[in-house]
């Protein structure tokens, strides 16, 4: 046990402990778990929550206002200290992120090669041919699903089909695209 931290049994009025020390000890016993839960809810690990709790109590005990007995509500003061510790921690994390930030304009990004552009254009032309060779109803349902983001029940309601019928049309569209584009 550290020598600078008084033991709980030494902090009794009978032994001549200062009233503030007894008050601080009682506050610690009463609020420690609450404060640890508060820090844990802010995504701190158990060790970090414990460290932050200790730091909050250290700040409270070191404050001139606590020593002078000017803190009317130590629990509220402790909670404000805890919030400030989290705020300071977040600011430090942001400074760390800012220091590690690399601007995209500082590094040139290679554009697509000529071969990649030709392959993309060829793939797009093949996809267009495959889509045009689909039955109109199948193409309409497939496009509503993939491009418009409609759900199968929404498509069924829009087209007057059953959901099972929409599923069947999507299956046909996928099989057609697989066949025509040779996706295997």
| Dihedral Cα 97, 99, 101, 107, nearest 10 deg | -170
The residue with tokens 């200062």 is 18
Where residue 43 falls among pLDDT bands split at 50, 70, 90? confident
Rounded mean pLDDT, 52-64: 86
- C-alpha–C-alpha distance, residues 44 and 37, integer Å: 9
Query: What is the domain partition of the chain in residue ranges?
Result: 8-100, 114-181
Q: Which CATH class is domain 114-181?
A: mainly alpha
**Cβ–Cβ < 8 Å for 11, 21:** yes
Give the Cα separation of 106 and 176 in Å (integer).
Answer: 46
Q: Which helix (H) or strand (E) holds 160?
A: none
Comparing 55-59, 81-85, 94-98, which segment has the lowest mean pLDDT?
A: 94-98
Highest averaged pLDDT of the listed ranges 29-43, 71-85, 93-107, 153-167: 153-167
Output the pLDDT for position 40: 85
CB atoms within 10 A of CB 78: 23
pLDDT for position 168: 95
Q: Flag the least confident range among 50-59, 68-77, 99-108, 157-166.
A: 99-108
Please, which pLDDT band fits residue 46 given cuts at 50, 70 and 90? Answer: confident
Does 81 score more than 70 pLDDT?
A: yes
Three-state SS at 143: helix
Q: What is the pLDDT of residues 121-141, one digit of tens each?
A: 998 899 899 999 999 999 999
Looking at the chain, the whole-number percentage of residues with pLDDT higher than 70 is 84
For residues 141 and 175, is the Cβ–Cβ distance under 8 A? no
Distance between CA atoms of 53 and 47, rounded to whole angstroms? 10
Read off the pTM: 0.43
* Res. 67: pLDDT tops 80: no
Task: Return the top range by mean pLDDT from 15-19, 22-26, 28-32, 139-143.
Answer: 139-143
Exposure string over 127-163, b if 16+ CB within 10 A, otherwise e: eeebbeebeeebbbbbebbeeeebebeebbeeeebee
């Amino acid at each position: 046990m550290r020598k600078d931290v008084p033991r709980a049994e030494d902090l009794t009025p009978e032994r001549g402990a200062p009233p503030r020390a007894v008050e601080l000890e009682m506050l610690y016993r009463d609020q420690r778990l609450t404060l640890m839960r508060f820090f844990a809810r802010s995504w701190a690990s158990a060790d970090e929550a414990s460290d932050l709790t200790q730091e909050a109590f250290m700040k409270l005990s070191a404050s001139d206002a606590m020593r002078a007995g000017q803190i009317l509500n130590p629990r509220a003061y402790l909670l404000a200290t805890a919030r400030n510790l989290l705020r300071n921690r977040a600011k430090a994390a942001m400074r760390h992120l800012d220091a590690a930030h690399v601007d995209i304009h500082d590094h040139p990004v290679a554009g697509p090669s000529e071969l990649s552009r030709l392959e993309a254009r060829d793939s797009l032309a093949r996809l267009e041919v495959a889509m045009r060779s689909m039955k109109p109803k199948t193409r309409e349902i497939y496009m509503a699903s993939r491009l418009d983001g409609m759900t199968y029940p929404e498509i069924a309601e829009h087209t007057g089909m059953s959901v099972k019928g929409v599923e069947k049309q999507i299956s046909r569209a996928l099989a057609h695209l697989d066949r025509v584009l040779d996706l295997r």
